[in-house]
């Protein structure tokens, strides 16, 4: 019996292959009795097409879904994805391989669990080769403008030699990437041309409608590709100047940009001379005298001793300006500005937080964000006028990490706290408060000089700078992050902590350290 010859309409006739494969499987035609041919790879003349054979008597029927009618084959979804790509391969036997795999998937259930099967390995290799060719075409197509008759829109043309039949598959990428550009891509197998729709054209009808006209034509020769232009010379100048000889890896470059593509890349003519000079240029770079680093903001000038500052307000302003230029840790370089303290001098209380947040960083003022609004609410309920207090932070710059376009608060480390210690100490010496309220662990550590377990020591008075009392409590942001079910109880407990310092607002600061919490 002569093999049955199946003729597909084109080299990438995936719908035709899918339709014919279903019919052959329904007729129980084994793979070795089928010959697949395409216009570019016809079957030998001695193979004549025959009518499909009848099912063999006694054979197990194909599994059908949905009752009578054409059978609906049940195969892994990954196999369909594999077929859609493998049909683009240049191997003339790709359709025979895919039908053989389909036949075996239906009749050999164990094939799905055998990744080392030769047919599966070959199909996987072909899939990877096609994917690589698709990627290379997207990366190495270079458009060049060509002259057009007067009144015609500018046309850019590119020449590419794909290894597989991938042009139609990769065209949607170029349509999306260069939607408003009039372009054409020439290849030995076929050519494609895109003409964008005029700006005043009516809206598109249908989800699949293209914003322009796409035409496919016959293949072309390299002689029909446009010659280099002035823009290409500018690109070569730029390419030569960004070349870094110290990072040259020829083996990796040849892997990612194979030599077969070099003939169509304008920068390829520079690769050999630049690579030949790489070793000498790298040596000169290593031996060169290092350039002096440039700071985004000038380094701060040395600070005068605190006891020499006779005008506290002017001294605080000068201190804040100097802190804005601080680079003792990385925070100052990335923050918008320094956020120094503000409030009354010689206040009854100095409230010290952890660090400025996102809104404080933008405004340049402490406690103006969500935590600051919660603190204002507490001050109002306690009857503490904010303008009678002094509010500041242990760390003067905003520490954050980017998540998309958002700046997410990140707790400062010990290095940042120690770097800012000098600013806090000078600030305390100028403000001269009667007592402190440490809002959170970072502030407590900066004021007390040791790690303070806030949850176990909250509501207690500890000794701080110059022997002044420090009340330990939570930072208002801790309440914002807390359990919503315990919101009211946490709020009342925090107010109870703060109320212990009310005696300083009333001028009753004497003996505060010795007063038990129950008497507050």
Q: Which of 44, 14, 127, 43 is nearest to 78 (CA)?
A: 127
pLDDT means per 10 residues in the chain (520 residues)?
A: 85 93 91 89 55 38 35 74 94 94 89 89 95 92 82 86 93 92 92 86 61 90 80 80 83 78 77 86 84 59 58 88 87 89 95 95 94 95 95 95 87 90 93 95 94 94 94 95 92 95 80 40
Sketch the domain layout of the chain as residue ranges: 4-134, 141-198+210-224, 247-280, 310-510
Q: Please check whether residue 390 is in contact with residue 351, taking contact to mean a CB–CB distance below 8 angstroms.
A: yes
Helix (H, G, I), strand (E, B) or coil at 438: strand
* Segment (H or E) for 470: strand 469-473
> What's the confidence (pLDDT) of residue 151?
72
> What's the confidence (pLDDT) of residue 423?
93
Q: Please check whether residue 446 is in contact with residue 417, taking contact to mean a CB–CB distance below 8 angstroms.
A: yes
CB atoms within 10 A of CB 388: 13
CA torsion angle 368 372 374 377 (round to 10): -80
The pair of structure tokens assigned to 330 is: 């990385």
Q: Which of 485, 247, 442, 458 is nearest to 352 (CA)?
A: 442
Q: Please check whether residue 167 is in contact with residue 189, taking contact to mean a CB–CB distance below 8 angstroms.
A: yes
> What's the confidence (pLDDT) of residue 309?
54
CB atoms within 10 A of CB 348: 21
CA 507, distance to chain mean position in Å, is: 56
CATH number of 310-510: 3.40.470.10
355 vs 467: CA distance, rounded Å? 24
Q: Could you say which DSSP state residue 9 is in?
A: S
| Dihedral pair phi/psi, residue 475, rounded to 5° | -80, 145
> What's the confidence (pLDDT) of residue 61?
37
User: For the chain, how are helix, strand and coil distributed in percent, rounded to 5?
Assistant: 45, 15, 40
275 vs 246: CA distance, rounded Å? 10
Sheet holding 436-439, edge to edge: 342-343, 390-393, 350-353, 436-439, 469-473, 461-463
Q: What pTM did the predictor assign?
A: 0.50
69 vs 64: CA distance, rounded Å? 9
Contacts of residue 453, defined as CB under 8 A and 6 or more positions apart, other chains included, come to 441
378 vs 88: CA distance, rounded Å? 70
49 vs 40: CA distance, rounded Å? 18
Q: With the C-alpha atoms ordered 194, 82, 60, 66, is the resulting torsion angle positive or negative?
A: negative
């Amino acid at each position: 019996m002569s093999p049955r010859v199946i003729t597909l309409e084109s080299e990438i006739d995936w719908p035709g292959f899918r339709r014919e494969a279903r019919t052959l499987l329904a007729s129980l035609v084994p793979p070795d009795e089928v010959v697949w041919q395409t216009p570019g790879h016809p079957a030998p003349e001695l193979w004549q097409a025959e009518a499909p054979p009848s099912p063999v008597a006694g054979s197990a029927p194909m599994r059908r879904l949905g009752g009578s009618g054409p059978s609906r084959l049940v195969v892994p979804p990954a196999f369909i994805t594999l077929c859609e790509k493998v049909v683009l391969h240049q191997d003339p036997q790709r359709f025979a391989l895919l039908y053989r795999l389909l036949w075996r998937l239906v009749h050999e259930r164990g094939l799905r669990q055998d990744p080392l099967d030769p047919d599966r390995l070959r199909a996987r290799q072909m899939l990877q080769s096609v994917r690589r060719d698709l990627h290379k075409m997207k990366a190495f197509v270079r458009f060049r403008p060509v002259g057009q008759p007067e009144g015609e829109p500018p046309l850019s043309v590119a020449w590419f030699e794909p290894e597989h039949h991938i042009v139609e598959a990769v065209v949607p990428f170029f349509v999306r990437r260069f939607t408003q550009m009039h372009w054409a891509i020439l290849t030995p197998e076929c050519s494609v041309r895109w003409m964008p729709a005029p700006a005043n054209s009516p809206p598109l009808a249908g989800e699949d409608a293209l914003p322009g006209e796409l035409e496919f034509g016959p293949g072309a020769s390299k002689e029909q590709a446009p010659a280099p232009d002035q823009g290409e010379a500018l690109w070569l100048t730029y390419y030569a100047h960004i070349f870094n000889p110290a990072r040259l890896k020829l083996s990796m470059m040849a892997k990612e940009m194979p030599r077969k593509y070099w003939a169509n890349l304008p920068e390829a003519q520079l690769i050999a001379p630049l690579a030949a000079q790489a070793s000498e240029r790298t040596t000169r770079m290593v031996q060169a005298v290092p350039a002096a680093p440039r700071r985004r903001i000038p380094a701060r000038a040395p600070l005068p001793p605190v006891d020499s500052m006779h005008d506290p307000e002017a001294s605080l302003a000068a201190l804040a300006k100097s802190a804005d230029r601080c680079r003792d840790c990385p925070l100052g370089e990335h923050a918008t500005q320094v956020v120094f303290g503000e409030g009354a001098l010689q206040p009854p209380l100095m409230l010290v937080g952890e660090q400025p947040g996102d809104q404080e960083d933008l405004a340049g003022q402490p406690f103006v964000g969500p935590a600051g609004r919660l603190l204002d609410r507490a001050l109002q309920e306690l009857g503490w006028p904010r303008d009678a207090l002094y509010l500041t932070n242990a760390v003067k710059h905003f520490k954050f990490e980017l998540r998309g376009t958002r700046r997410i608060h990140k707790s400062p480390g010990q290095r940042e706290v120690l770097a800012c210690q000098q600013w806090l100490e000078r600030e305390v010496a100028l403000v001269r408060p009667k007592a402190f309220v440490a809002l959170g662990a970072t502030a407590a550590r900066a004021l007390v000089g040791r790690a303070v377990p806030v949850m176990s020591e909250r509501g207690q008075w500890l000794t701080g700078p110059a022997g002044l009392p420090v009340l330990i409590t939570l930072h208002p942001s801790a309440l914002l992050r807390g359990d919503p079910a315990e919101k009211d109880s946490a709020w009342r407990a925090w107010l109870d902590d703060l109320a212990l310092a009310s005696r300083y607002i009333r001028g009753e600061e004497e003996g505060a350290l010795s007063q038990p919490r129950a008497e507050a």
